[in-house]
Amino acid sequence: MMKVLMVAPEVAPFVKVGGLADVVGALPKALYKRGIDVRIVCPLYGSLTPGKDWVGGETPLEVHMGPGSIFARVWETSLPDEPVPVYFIEHKGFFDRHEVYAGPWGDHVDNGERFSFLSRAAIDLCSYLDWIPDVFHCHDWATGFVPVYLNTVMRGTPFEHSASIITIHNLKFQGLFRPELLNFAGLPWDVFKTDGLECMGNVSMLKGGIYHATKVTTVSPTYAEEIQGPELGEGLNHILKFRAADLVGILNGIDAEAWDPRKDAYLPAPISPDDLSGRALSKQAVQKEMGLAVNPDIPLFATVSRLYDQKGLDLLAGIVDGLMDNMVLQLAVLGSGDKEIEGMLAAAAERHPGRVAVHFGFNEGLAHRLYGGADVFLVPSRFEPCGLTQMYSMRYGAPPLVRSTGGLVDTVEQYEEGRHKGTGFRFEEASQNALYYTIGWAVSTYYDRPEEFQQLIMNGMKQDFSWKHSADAYIELYRWSMAARDWTRAMVST
């Protein structure tokens, strides 16, 4: 039986900052169903309290850091729905705080130490469990040292046969720290070079992961191409090009159980392609909840998003007045993030009461109702590695309006007027103008071509975004990486 350890800084439903958590909470369930012995390791943050059925390790876990051992406690539970083991690493100093990466004052200053510790703890956990994975599947910069450990200090141990995969969920976040971090991490200084971990004089945890992993993946085929170029390569395009033969884009799926509009407890009524009446009730609920005028006939445009530059919501904030002056629509935004973008949106909501509503903060229930109640779902991202929200919105019957970038290209098919084709509206240029006119296109489709609009809804709801295909693609990749690891082992030993 193939053994895979997911090393992750987030896992839904326990702790979630963004899409990474959804992936780590869902992909293992699909792998488990296909007979993989898959397990997950994640820190026990201050926001998490061990449940009654969690099992706390009797003996401490010894984590071998550079200056000496640091001890942690291991908690074991499992994912809801499938018996996939989840191990939480408890260490008060590193992890007992509410936020995963950053507080209101900015990034935690000891993120380098915290996540080197997670990376090393993941490997030491396997010795502790006496369970040697065939593959360590790592997620984003926070786990980037795992492949580096495997290629260096773990040589000559049972782990030297373990392959590693790093999945890039977002290349923008790279984990840059002072080089002295290597001393704490217990990594040899010979990895600190351009062909290795060095990045502008600092250590880059992500670059280390990309260099040292057996295979590199990202979360959509289009993003896998885009990051090899200077525009979206975030300074790492050269090394991604260097590793191009081992770089694969595998589209994220969605958790079909957690996101099933037929039995979603957050919705006022079920929604299915055969019965869309639940959508009207969701729309009404959202309008009430967010203080919008309750009116079934005005198209409701909505978004659920981290409010950052990446997501292009500053573009939206810049055109709200124009939209409200010239079109009849409502706008609802759920999200939090950049204070400037929040301020622009809050001011717009004040200028247009009953027509524009914003809700800052994380609200799972409202998010589900927005997917179920919006008429059009906005994702105007500047870049988007995969994006999950457009898939949720399609499944819940809200056609998405997206910029043509990354995973949005791979998941949203352009609407073609008069041909009953497409699942949403796409635009090319990341500009206010392009967004404005594409919203105009969607608004007029809503009013003037209701049958075609209905067809768009149906086309979206019938898409298959389950993990089926992607889980198979990962398993194939695990096999390749195991074979590659065997091959290099043969080379080294001759």
Q: Which of 47, 78, 152, 363 binds ligand ADP (CB under 6 A)?
A: 363
Output Rg (C-alpha) for the chain, integer angstroms: 23
User: Minimum CB separation from ligand ADP for residue 123, in Å?
Assistant: 26
User: Which residue number, 358 or 477, has a Cβ lying nearer to ligand ADP?
Assistant: 358
Q: Supply 40's token pair.
A: 């997950």
| 345 close to 339: Cβ distance less than 8 angstroms | no
User: Minimum CB separation from ligand ADP for residue 67, in Å?
Assistant: 34
User: Minimum CB separation from ligand ADP for residue 394, in Å?
Assistant: 13
Binding-site residue total for ligand ADP (CB under 6 A)? Answer: 17
- How many Å apart are CA 34 and CA 323, to the nearest integer? 49
Q: Is 305 in the site for ligand ADP (CB under 6 A)?
A: yes
| 118 close to 87: Cβ distance less than 8 angstroms | no
User: Minimum CB separation from ligand ADP for residue 138, in Å?
Assistant: 17
- How many Å apart are CA 132 and CA 136, to the nearest integer? 10
User: Which residue number, 208 or 312, has a Cβ lying nearer to ligand ADP?
Assistant: 312
| 6 close to 137: Cβ distance less than 8 angstroms | yes
**Where would I find the H helices in 352-467?**
364-373, 389-395, 406-411, 432-448, 450-461
Stretch that binds ligand ADP, among 119-127, 235-243, 384-392, 445-453 (CB under 6 A): 384-392
DSSP per residue, 139-154: ESGGGTHHHHHHHTTT
User: Minimum CB separation from ligand ADP for residue 388, in Å?
Assistant: 4
Q: Supply 277's token pair.
A: 């009446």
| 97 close to 46: Cβ distance less than 8 angstroms | yes
Burial of 323-362, coded b for 16+ CB within 10 Å and e otherwise, reads bbeebebbbbbbbbbbeebbebbeebbeebeebbbbbeee
* 312-351 binders of ligand ADP (CB under 6 A): 334-336
DSSP per residue, 270-333: --BTTB-HHHHHHHHHHHHHHT----SSSPEEEEEEEESGGGTHHHHHHHHHHHHHH---EEEE
**Which residues have a Cβ under 8 Å from the Cβ of 156 and sit 6 or more positions away?**
none
Residues in contact with ligand ADP, shown as a per-residue x/- string from 387 to 406 under the rule CB under 6 A: xxx-----------------
User: Minimum CB separation from ligand ADP for residue 310, in Å?
Assistant: 7
User: Minimum CB separation from ligand ADP for residue 292, in Å?
Assistant: 17
User: Minimum CB separation from ligand ADP for residue 169, in Å?
Assistant: 7
Nearest of 222, 219, 260 to residue 395 by alpha carbon = 260
Q: Which amino acid, one-letter code, is at 286? A: V
Stretch that binds ligand ADP, among 103-111, 196-204, 304-312, 464-472 (CB under 6 A): 304-312
Residues in contact with ligand ADP, shown as a per-residue x/- string from 155 to 194 under the rule CB under 6 A: ----------------------------------------
Stretch that binds ligand ADP, among 18-26, 132-140, 260-268, 396-404 (CB under 6 A): 18-26
Nearest residue to ligand ADP, scored by beta-carbon proximity: 19
Q: Is 255 in the site for ligand ADP (CB under 6 A)?
A: no
SS3 123: helix
Nearest of 73, 13, 65 to residue 43 by alpha carbon = 73
User: Minimum CB separation from ligand ADP for residue 430, in Å?
Assistant: 16
User: Which residue number, 214 or 389, has a Cβ lying nearer to ligand ADP?
Assistant: 389
User: Which residue number, 242 or 362, has a Cβ lying nearer to ligand ADP?
Assistant: 362
Stretch that binds ligand ADP, among 3-11, 16-24, 272-280, 349-357 (CB under 6 A): 16-24
Q: Is 362 in the site for ligand ADP (CB under 6 A)?
A: yes
User: Which residue number, 100 or 125, has a Cβ lying nearer to ligand ADP?
Assistant: 100
Q: Is 101 in the site for ligand ADP (CB under 6 A)?
A: no
Residues in contact with ligand ADP, shown as a per-residue x/- string from 211 to 250 under the rule CB under 6 A: ----------------------------------------
User: Minimum CB separation from ligand ADP for residue 25, in Å?
Assistant: 10
Please, which residues bridge with residue 484 across strands?
none
- How many Å apart are CA 13 and CA 102, to the nearest integer? 19
User: Minimum CB separation from ligand ADP for residue 224, in Å?
Assistant: 16
User: Which residue number, 306 or 479, has a Cβ lying nearer to ligand ADP?
Assistant: 306
User: Minimum CB separation from ligand ADP for residue 17, in Å?
Assistant: 7
- How many Å apart are CA 410 and CA 314, to the nearest integer? 24
**Which residues have a Cβ under 8 Å from the Cβ of 59 and sit 6 or more positions away?**
128
Q: Is 367 in the site for ligand ADP (CB under 6 A)?
A: yes
User: Which residue number, 163 or 408, has a Cβ lying nearer to ligand ADP?
Assistant: 408
Q: Which of 19, 28, 144, 196 binds ligand ADP (CB under 6 A)?
A: 19
Q: Supply 66's token pair.
A: 């550079």
Q: Which amino acid, one-letter code, is at 150? A: L
User: Which residue number, 182 or 313, has a Cβ lying nearer to ligand ADP?
Assistant: 313
Question: Which residues are near ligand ADP by CB under 6 A?
Answer: 18-19, 22, 304-306, 334-336, 362-364, 367, 386-389
